[in-house]
C-alpha cells in the first residue's frame, strides 16, 4: 500500500527527509522517516528513482499532497548538465510504501 493512504502528518524536513506518522499492522501510530537522498537522484534536470543526492543540485524544494487522492508530490528546480535549472516533480507514492509502520522504498 502506498504510504500516504495510511499516514498523517506527512512533511519534508531539510528538503530531503520524508517524515510521517504511519499506522502499523496493529493499528498503532508511529513516526517514521526516510532520507530521499538515498533513493532519488538528478539526471540532467529530472528526478529518477534508484539514484542519490538529488538535494545537492536542487533548489526551491517543496512537498505537496495533490488532487482528490492527495498524491504526495516532491517538486524542485534541478540543475541540468548546462548548469541551468529545470522544474521537476516526482510522485512519491510510486515507490514508497508503509510496511508495518515504516516508510520503505520498493
The pLDDT value recorded for residue 59 is 97
Question: How far apart are alpha carbons 34 and 16 in whole angstroms?
Answer: 8
Integer Cα distance of 88 and 48 in angstroms: 10
Q: Is the dihedral of CA 41, 58, 55, 69 positive or negative?
A: negative
DSSP codes joined into one string, 74-91: EEEEEE-TTS-EEEEEEE
Residues 6+ apart with CB under 8 A from 26: none
pLDDT of residue 1: 63
Q: Looking at domain 3-105, does it have CATH number 3.40.50.1220?
A: no
Distance CA 36, CA 85 (A): 20
Every domain of the chain and the residues it spans:
3-105
Blockwise average pLDDT, block size 10, the chain, 106 residues: 87 97 94 98 98 96 93 97 96 96 96
Q: Structure pTM?
A: 0.93
DSSP H or E stretch at residue 27: none
Amino acid at each position: 500500500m502506498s504510504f500516504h493512504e495510511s499516514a498523517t502528518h506527512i512533511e519534508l524536513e531539510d528538503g530531503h527527509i520524508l517524515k510521517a506518522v504511519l499506522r502499523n499492522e496493529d493499528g498503532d501510530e508511529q513516526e517514521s522517516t526516510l532520507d530521499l537522498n538515498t533513493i532519488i537522484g538528478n539526471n540532467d534536470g529530472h528526478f529518477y528513482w534508484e539514484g542519490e543526492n538529488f538535494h545537492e543540485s536542487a533548489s526551491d524544494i517543496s512537498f505537496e499532497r495533490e488532487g482528490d487522492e492527495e498524491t504526495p508530490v516532491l517538486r524542485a528546480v534541478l540543475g541540468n548538465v548546462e548548469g541551468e535549472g529545470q522544474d521537476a516533480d516526482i510522485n512519491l507514492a510510486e515507490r514508497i510504501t508503509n510496511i508495518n509502520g515504516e516508510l520503505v522504498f520498493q
